[in-house]
Amino acid sequence: MWVFRSAHQHKLLLVCYRKLHTLVSVSRVGSQVASYHITATLLSPQDRGVKPAERRHLRGSNTSKVHNEPPAAEGRQGRGGWRSAQSKSLKDETGLFRTQNQGRKEEPKVSSELRKLSLEDFPPDKEKQVRQKPTVDAKAESFEMVFGIAPCLLALTQGRRKASKLFVKRDGGSQRTSVLKVCEEAHRRGVQISQVSKKDLDKMSSGGVHQGVCLRASPLSFLSEIAALSRGKGTPLWLVLDRIQDPMNLGAMLRSAYFLGVDGVISSLRHSCPLTPVVSKASSGVMEVMGVYGCDDLEDLLQVKVAQGWQVVGTVGLEAGQHQTRVTRCSDFEMTCPTLLLMGGEGSGLSQELLSLCQTLLTVPAGRELSPGVESLNVSVAAGVLLHSLLHSRRSA
């Protein structure tokens, strides 16, 4: 009787083992998660604490022993009780795993690099505020930052730009009279004013000398209608720039032209510096007042103006080589008719095509014997000297 009962129990255990082995195999094909939890449930309490590396060495002996011998507490429950306990354990653990996965799915799938960049650029306390105003940031892309007292003040008063917001330095910078004047003008025109740190202003101006104020406003572009280039009254003088690429030079030339009384400025559009906030700052805000015309083809423009009775005057250095046109010192030249003064780029000067259209070439004489490598002036300085000389001769005439 005892032998029959032992054989019967052994047979039942063998059947249970085969069914569980089949269940584990199916679970591995359909879901690795179910396989893992069934195997974990079958492990004895001693093996559950074993590390994965050590468990691989024990697979040949301990695992088979565990599969053949169920735990004593569960074995006393009988076949039905043992299966129900296994099913309950499997359901509990699988449900917990699904709940964890559902919680993870709610997290945004963002790369670590992008998440790091977001945290560096936007502090946690400001992250919600930035997300709530995407339209403002998108709208700000069509604006640029004008910086400096004079550029910001003239940008507000002239009305050529559409001002959006004025940023003023926090920590006492707004108490200066010049800054208060800019703030009053912005308030008068309904422009929002915001106090920020010096570090923020440095970023807005890209390291430029902002003097405690930055203005977010629409950009300026070259004027296209050169019909204003007419004889008019008196003897007009226009400054024509070809391939000026340094924004500091362009700003300084605009400032000199405006201060000395030049009637207008024309710039080539190809290979030339655009009208940027750096140019406005270098011009001390003159770019906000004086319109600069852009031209695609300077050669065609010069030919038309020569036919209308204008005089085209080019500029060269003392050691510029031989030219078909006679080179004259600027102090010896008299301007008696409408004149276009041509200034070339920083590197190569005027092109041969433009030089061939010049009726006169002017140069600034040196006041001493020059060392090699210092044969010329900076283009913006030379422009100031030449403009002053021509305008002085016009008044004398």
Q: What pLDDT score was predicted for residue 376? A: 78
Q: What pLDDT score was predicted for residue 62? A: 44
Q: What pLDDT score was predicted for residue 260? A: 96
Q: What pLDDT score was predicted for residue 1? A: 43
For 226-396, CATH number out of 3.20.20.210, 1.10.3720.10, 3.40.50.970, 3.40.1280.10 equals 3.40.1280.10
Please report, for residues 144, 168, 218, 220, the alpha-carbon distance to residue 140 in angstroms, rounded to integers and kept in the order given: 8, 18, 9, 15
Strand partners, 243: none
pTM for this structure? 0.64
Cα-to-chain-centroid distance, residue 32 = 47
- The rounded mean pLDDT for the chain is 74
Q: What pLDDT score was predicted for residue 96? A: 47
214-259 tens-digit pLDDT: 999 999 999 987 766 665 567 899 999 999 999 999 999 999 999 9
Residue ranges covered by each domain of the chain: 2-95, 141-217, 226-396
Q: Which of 101-110, 214-223, 288-297 has the lowest mean pLDDT?
A: 101-110
Q: What pLDDT score was predicted for residue 340? A: 96
Q: What pLDDT score was predicted for residue 368? A: 86
Decide: 291 and 223 in contact? Cβ < 8 Å: yes
Q: What pLDDT score was predicted for residue 78? A: 46
Q: What pLDDT score was predicted for residue 307? A: 92
List the structure tokens of 12.
Answer: 């039942």
47-101 tens-digit pLDDT: 445 445 444 444 444 444 444 444 444 444 444 454 555 555 544 544 544 544 4
Q: Which of 102-111, 120-129, 383-392 has the lowest mean pLDDT?
A: 120-129
Q: What pLDDT score was predicted for residue 180? A: 92
Q: What pLDDT score was predicted for residue 240? A: 97
- Domain 141-217 sits in which CATH superfamily? Ribosomal protein L30/S12 (3.30.1330.30)
More confident call, 50 vs 311: 311
Q: What pLDDT score was predicted for residue 92? A: 53
DSSP state of 62: I
Q: Express as a percent the part of the chain with pLDDT over 90.
A: 48
Q: What pLDDT score was predicted for residue 198? A: 92
Give the dihedral sign, CA 363/366/370/376.
Answer: negative
Strand order in the sheet with 360-363: 292-295, 264-268, 237-241, 339-343, 311-315, 360-363, 327-329
